[in-house]
Amino acid sequence: ITAVTETHIHADFASGSRELAARTGAKLYLSDEGDASWKYAFAAEAGAVLVRDGDSFWVGNAKIEVLHTPGHTPEHLCFMLTDTRASHRPMGIFTGDFVFVGDVGRPDLLEKAAKVVGSAASGARTLFRSLQRFKALPDYLQIWPGHGAGSACGKGIGAVPQTSLGYERLANWAFAYDDEDAFVSAVLAGQPEPPKYFAQMKRINKEGPPIMGGFRRPPRRPGGQLLVRLAQGATVIDTRPFAAFAAGHVPGTLSIPLDYSFATWAGWLISYDAPFFLLAADDAPRVVDQAVRELAKIGLDQVAGYAGGDALAAWTVAGRELEIIPQITPEDLAALARTERVALIDVRGESEWLEAHMPAARHIALGYLVDRLDEIPRDRPVVVYCRSGARSSIAAGLLQAKGFKDVRNLVGGIARWQAAGHAVERAA
């Protein structure tokens, strides 16, 4: 490895560019575009080469040409690759978060995540102009984007890993716009809510992620010791599957199952300002290793220790009961609502809520639940739901950890509610 680069200051993960360059001795190339507030603060310390539009560098026989493509962020670059042994014409372009398969990078992250007021609209206009320049490139160019389906850096990214400029010209909605105002309205509409940790990632990646020097497993703590730290106010994340958590957990622990969305919800719900602990049951070291690696991707590296199933045993040996989360079916919820007042909380995203929601529900997206606890009554049963029951499971555990006594999770979410023939409401 002789060269390392990245297209922009990322918001969705802690960049490994600095560490990779440091470990391998490779030259680090970073953007020198954008205004002063979005320059890489660690560039000089890391010995990075700063590049701008029109610059180029070589990796063996491969020529890398730099294109400034602002819009998603002010400093964003694309890198056009030419294999000079085969042709003098470029082969393809690494587009980062500028052009995806079927979509383009969202221009509103600086405003929504970093609170740069007014940057969404101006970024959208800049993105439009970058696209007009991009359209002038030849159709045969392969496009290697930075994200695929599921990323919060776009609103409709395709699942295939690469594409071509010619295909995107035909199939990508953003390429159909020739009117700037119409494009601005379209690109800003329907963007998903960015996770809270995006703001932290912008800061960390701008200042320079710390060089880790390799993987380190946090120390294993005796179960009783972990419970003492929990009683002292420490955050303890239970990584077990939700079914196990719901069947019995230590009161005050927070459920974030170690699955494909673990890092996303950890970034929403765990503070970056204090150490925290992990709890795992079966095969604890392996599970913790995976969790620590996932957390490191978003800069959450303050894991102070972990415990296995002995933490649950220590709780029950002391004569205390594990807490459970009752599951309620749509039929039982409908019956309960006929006889009691129920606080119904929809923890899905804004666009999902607008599409369809349960009557009398209050919308509080999971990521903002901890900030809006005072909106939820404590004098009645609280039923939480999402699309399928996964996000609401995390929400139910969070509410219990915050002292709500009667919390229930809707089995199968609104999908099962609708399938059972119950009514929903839609935005006007």
14 and 296 Cβ atoms separated by less than 8 Å: yes
Find the radius of gyration of the CA atoms of the chain: 24
CA 346-234-290 angle, to 5 degrees, is 75
Indicate the burial class of 312 (C-beta count within 10 angstroms; 0-12, 13-18, 19 or more): buried
Among the options 284, 366, 386, 411, which is catalytic?
386
Residue 323 DSSP class: B
b/e sequence 111-125, b meaning 16+ C-beta within 10 Å: bbbbebeebbebbbb
- Report the alpha-carbon distance of residue 169 to residue 177 in Å, rounded: 11
CA 46-49-52 angle, to 5 degrees, is 135
How would you list the strands of the sheet with 92-96, edge to edge?
56-59, 62-68, 77-83, 92-96, 142-145, 163-164
Q: How many CA atoms lie within 13 A of 85 on its CB side?
A: 5
Which stretches of 270-317 are DSSP H helices? Answer: 284-296, 310-317
Pairing of strands 77-83, 92-96: antiparallel
1 and 26 Cβ atoms separated by less than 8 Å: yes
- Report the alpha-carbon distance of residue 244 to residue 223 in Å, rounded: 17
187 and 172 Cβ atoms separated by less than 8 Å: no
- Report the alpha-carbon distance of residue 328 to residue 80 in Å, rounded: 54
Pairing of strands 362-363, 343-346: parallel
CB neighbours (10 Å) of residue 41?
Answer: 12
- Report the alpha-carbon distance of residue 22 to residue 234 in Å, rounded: 34
Q: Partners of 328 in the beta sheet?
A: 410
Annotation marks residue 153 as catalytic: no
Positions marked active-site: 386
